[in-house]
Structure 1
Amino acid sequence: MSARVLLVDDHATMRMGFRAILEASGIEVIGEAATGAQAVTAAAALRPDVICMDVQMPDVDGIEATRRILRAAGERPPRIVIVTTFDRDDYLFAALDAGASGFLLKNAGPEELVAAVRVVAAGDALLAPEVTRRVIERFGRGPRDEPAPPRDPGLTEREGEVLRLLAQALSNAEIAERLYIGEATVKTHVSNVLQKLGARDRVAAVVYAHRHGLA
């Protein structure tokens, strides 16, 4: 899938490397920013499909920049992938809370960066199994006095099967293989599941599934 990408990192050499990787794979890089404040301005002006966002930057960090960009984006917000050197839970959870659709370490291979951009551009969240486990450990069990949403969100039998496989961090292709259906059909089911759960993305759906015993 084609995507227009904005690169945000305070190191010019890092942006240069990311640009080379993405453009070599046919992905269009439409702009760069070196600070969080510049990222907010560039996102509003360029309207990228995907933003690769560093965390530690001058003036405004990547988490706050993500929050500001999505708050101002309107009906077609960009998908934001946090790309950081630091594999820290506080960054991961703050990024998800801010609305990021992916979390990637800078030591990931070129193919992982390309895959991350394409995955989030297609409307999915980047859910590596190890990240899923950490999200569930943090958010999968709410406070005991927290009122639970309705256990039955009105899913069809097939949508319930798709949700259970989502909770295992399977991709659309893997779900299609398990259920012997096409990927396009899986995508439709996933969209219906997210809508019925009121979930922003696959991360939220996975948390819901584990929290309410639907996984």
Structure 2
Amino acid sequence: MVNQPLRLVLVDDHEMVIEGLKALLARFRGRVRVVGQAVSADAAEPLVAALDPDIVVTDVRLRGSVSGLDLCRRLVEANPDRRVVLLSAYDDEQYLFQALRAGAAGYLLKSVDGEGLVRHLELVASGETALDPTMAGRAVASAARLQAGEFWPGARFSLTQRESEVLKFLVAGLSNRAIAGKLVLGEETVKSHVRAIFRKLEVNDRASAVAVALREGIFL
């Protein structure tokens, strides 16, 4: 029997990213086929339930209150056999840890080429866990540090190392623009980190985030 192409649903809050992925994967029609796409977690859930794809490929960060990590967790809770791969621009191993805790079958970077992406998706379909090779090595080192009790401030709140750095500057009273200058990041990237901090600390504004950091002694 001839193997059928893997059926994929793509989830990303930027339609241009989805179209780029579709164009990239079109070169591998005999191995993968995009059967659905969604620009939000809310739209993705019923779509996945209706189409029952082999693999869901989603960005880590999505607009709105439901992240790609949350979507992954929901999809796996609804169907433990659901295979979800997180495709992200963030090469932060803390995101990788969170993805695995959410039940993801893979965590890959958006810098992956077409052949690498398809090969990893085929591994996932066969029951393997696909991790970006460079991140996998760093994750092992971070796990060893965690085992030894050495980790960055805020890790217990699931803050990534970069988010911890941003929170430190929030506590110091710096603006987003000033933080961007300190960390050599774009201001929009800093805003994205700040939103993630708010979500993880369960607050709605900078003052509340600072209050939680001080109350919990995150930087002591």
| Pairwise same-fold verdict (TM > 0.5) | yes
Q: 1:109 to 1:51 in 2, by over 3 A?
A: same
1:50 aligns with 2:47: no
Q: Output the amino acid matched with 1:29.
A: V
Q: 1:133 to 1:31 in 2, by over 3 A?
A: same
Q: Tell me the equivalent position of 1:83.
A: 87
Q: How many Å apart are 1:78 and its aligned residue?
A: 2.4
Structure 1 length-normalised TM: 0.60
Q: How many Å apart are 1:136 and its aligned residue?
A: 2.4
- The alignment yields a C-alpha RMSD, in angstroms, of 2.0
Deviations 1:30-67 (CA, angstroms, capped at 9, x unpaired) = 10010122222221111111111101111211000000
Query: Following superposition of structure 1 onto structure 2, how do residues 99-138 of structure 1 map, counting pairs within 5 Å?
Result: 99-138=103-142
* Aligned equivalent of 1:36, options 36, 41, 49: 41
Q: How many Å apart are 1:29 and its aligned residue?
A: 0.8
Q: Tell me the equivalent position of 2:12.
A: 9
Q: How many Å apart are 1:128 and its aligned residue?
A: 4.2
- Larger Rg belongs to: 2
Measure the CA separation in 2 of the matches of 1:81 and 1:141.
26
Q: 1:38 to 1:140 in 2, by over 3 A?
A: farther
1:20 aligns with 2:23: yes
* Aligned equivalent of 2:69, options 57, 63, 67: 63
| SS at 2:131 equivalent | coil
Identity of aligned residues (%): 35
Query: CA contact under 8 A between 1:4 and 1:28: conserved in structure 2?
Result: yes
Query: Following superposition of structure 1 onto structure 2, how do residues 114-193 of structure 1 map, counting pairs within 5 Å?
Result: 114-139=118-143
Moved over 3 A (4+): 138-144
Query: CA contact under 8 A between 2:108 and 2:131: conserved in structure 1?
Result: no
Measure the CA separation in 2 of the matches of 1:125 and 1:143.
22
Structure 2 length-normalised TM: 0.59
Aligned length: 142
Q: How many Å apart are 1:140 and its aligned residue?
A: 5.3
Q: Tell me the equivalent position of 1:186.
A: none
